[in-house]
Chains A and B, each alone.
Chain A
Amino acid sequence: MTREAVRAGLFTASGLIGGACGRCGRRHFPHAVPCPWCGSDDVTTVTLSSQGSLWGWTVVTAAPPGYDGPVPYGFGVVELADDGLHVVTRLAGDAADYTPGRAVRFTVVPLGGDVDTWAFEPA
């Protein structure tokens, strides 16, 4: 069965697909033109770092409207220092292992049916 991403252009098997702005020099996610920080159209596509650290987290215990995936699920913010970014993300693995600053890595997780999304999990 062919797996499908929850939306094309968000990630590959190796990491999140972001944008790098040629004018302000900053990165962003998801990839967007114009640059959400400065409005420039000079944006190139980059794969963001697959390694980061955990900055904040919680657990979503009830499905939000429009969501049919598994519940509960980890939810938080990871710091991708090499990219200068904080990224909002699902978190995989055991919530008991989440600690501030803990090393995390990019992974692809099933959302239900043949649809995948991404998450970060303890490295």
Chain B
Amino acid sequence: MTGIRISGVGMHPFGRHGDRSATDMGVHAVRAALTEAGIERGGFQAAFCGTAYGGVASGHRVLGALGLTGGPIVDIEAGCASGAAALALAAGAIAAGQYDTVLVFGVEKMPKGVIRSSFFAPWQEAAGFTPAPAYFALRAQQLMRHSGATKHDLAAVVVKNRRHGAANPDAMFQAAVTADEVLASRVVCDPLHLWMLCSPNEGAAAVVLQAGDGAVQLRAAVLRSHQPGYVLNEGTPMCGLIGAEPPTPSRTAADAAYAQAGVGPGDLHVVECQDTDAARELLAYEELRLCPDGASPGLVRDGATALGGRLPVNPSGGLLSKGEPLGASALGQVVELVHQLRGDAGARQVEGARVALAHTVGRGANASAVILTR
């Protein structure tokens, strides 16, 4: 099978951007990625656009503004994994020989606060079954029960990621915080405080994939959904079966990506993972096999996952610093890792990074695992 290289990346900062439309932000990111790749009109054969809230033909609006329509343009929705799903479909098409060059991008402009989703039935909204932070909190409590994680460990994740984000000009929050400040923010759903939750926001990211070998290779882009049974799976079911704990979609996606890329968790130099809330990052350590099950608090306590540690996680600052524009989020991680592998990540550079993994999980449930190498 031919290799797949990433020949260009672009990003519109994640944050709050007033009247700036999703299309405007997409234009910014796409133009930057195409410029890096040295590609003009006619240089790519297809485009996949990740978005959850963008509405009909979001991708067409972006490429229409740039005079780049003509080939197939398809919007992809897979919750928090939308951008990774677009990447996976593009990579599959290149691997199959259908296309040589594919543009992948994601755009989002989301309202403030808890995300309203058409996922739920109206009666579930009316009866109070839609608060995402409550489901996060219940998962956080299960993590605390099986791993011994404390609220201080959750605060330490926030402190780490916000410190990383302080060096990221594309992040929404660029100020470091202390554990005391995190624990002084209001309790949203115990044990989660406000600053332990990421903000849905606005932004765009773009990636150009091409057949062949280059500076950064895409080695795996895998999507998985949840298996039924567990009451707290990210599919947010109303019930689960006692004793049923099938492997999570994050784990099945990661295992498949490791197998496809021919690397293991011990080979990784840098990771971007889904830190929708602080506990989610610790869960990801276990699901991605960065540590044995139940050992995740140790990685943040001993600084292993901080910049300068043995396996930095979320050097971009993660979603806790960047915020989460759903359709763009997973590609924002890929943009960060491409910079890490090129060695041009500046003050947040992980020295010598050659193998990188990006992970998302969210509504659906869908999870993704993407492996890149230099």
Residues of chain A having any CB pair with chain B under 8 Å: 6-7, 10, 18, 26, 28-30, 36-37, 56-69, 73, 75-77, 79, 81, 84-88, 90, 111, 115, 117
Contact = CB atoms under 8 A, between A and B. Distances in A.
A88 B38 CA distance: 52
Interface string B104-142: 000000000111100011110111111111100110011
A67 B241 contact: no
A6 B123 contact: yes
Given A56-B138, A58-B141, A111 B241 contact: no
A87 B125 contact: no
Contacts of B241: 26, 37, 84-86
A81 B242 contact: yes
A65 B114 CA distance: 7
A75 B128 contact: yes
5 contacts: A7-B123, A37-B241, A60-B131, A64-B128, A84-B241
A79 B242 contact: yes
B123 to A, nearest CB: 4
A87 B238 contact: yes
B231 interface: yes
A68 B187 contact: no
B128 A90 contact: yes
Contacts of A68: 126
A66 B242 contact: no
B130 A64 contact: yes
Interface of B: 113-116, 120-123, 125-134, 137-138, 141-142, 186-191, 228-229, 231-232, 236-242
Given A61-B188, A87-B238, 20 more contacts: A28-B239, A37-B228, A58-B190, A60-B189, A61-B189, A64-B125, A65-B113, A66-B116, A67-B126, A69-B126, A69-B127, A75-B128, A77-B240, A86-B239, A86-B240, A86-B242, A87-B231, A88-B237, A90-B128, A111-B126
A6 B242 contact: no
Contacts of A65: 113-116, 125, 130
A51 to B, nearest CB: 15
Nearest to B115: A65
A6 B134 CA distance: 20
A29 B238 contact: yes
A115 B126 contact: yes
B240 A85 contact: yes
A53 B131 CA distance: 22
A68 B122 CA distance: 12
B238 to A, nearest CB: 5
Contacts of A67: 125-128, 130-131
Contacts of B121: 7
A62 B114 contact: yes
B138 A76 contact: yes
Contacts of B126: 6, 66-69, 111, 115
A85 to B, nearest CB: 5
Given A37-B228, A77-B231, A60 B128 contact: yes
Contacts of B239: 18, 28-29, 85-88
A58 B125 contact: no
Contacts of B134: 58, 60, 75
A109 to B, nearest CB: 10
Nearest to A112: B126
A57 B189 CA distance: 9
